[in-house]
Amino acid sequence: QVQLVESGGGLVPAGGSLRLSCTASGRSLRTYVMGWFRQTPGKEREFVAAISWSSSSTDYGDFVKGRFTIARDIAKNTMYLQMNSLKPEDTAVYYCAFRPSYYSDSIYTAANDYRAWGQGTQVTVSP
């Protein structure tokens, strides 16, 4: 059974950067679509970024506006989210998730499209 573990969260001042990692164990995610979502208390999980199984396609939430970059390292079975120019409104718990791609480069932005999730990592951006 696959397990996803996020890391890299923390407390940073506004304008700072963080790199989140999501490492999978128990299964290769080479053929899976992977995504990042975030959630704050009382709100629904929000799409942040996703990357296709081949890494040829990526998509980002509208609020990202060039600040974040998603990437994956197949050899390490790990996905990354580089977050720059962080804002206090980026404060949230960030989750990684995956779903089968069936070798399509389609990108999925709805949380319900994903099959498995990590436990999340807290990102806090101070004013």
Tabulate helix, strand, coil % of the chain (nearest 5).
Answer: 5, 50, 45
Nearest to 120 by CA among 31, 15, 46: 46
Nearest to 6 by CA among 48, 53, 60: 48
What is the per-residue pLDDT across 81-119, written as a single tens digit (0 to 9) for each? 999 999 999 999 999 999 999 988 999 999 999 999 999
**Residue 79's pLDDT is what?**
96
What is the per-residue pLDDT across 25-78, written as a single tens digit (0 to 9) for each? 988 889 999 999 999 999 999 999 999 999 999 999 999 989 999 999 999 999
Q: Token digits for 108?
A: 């999925």
**Residue 27's pLDDT is what?**
87
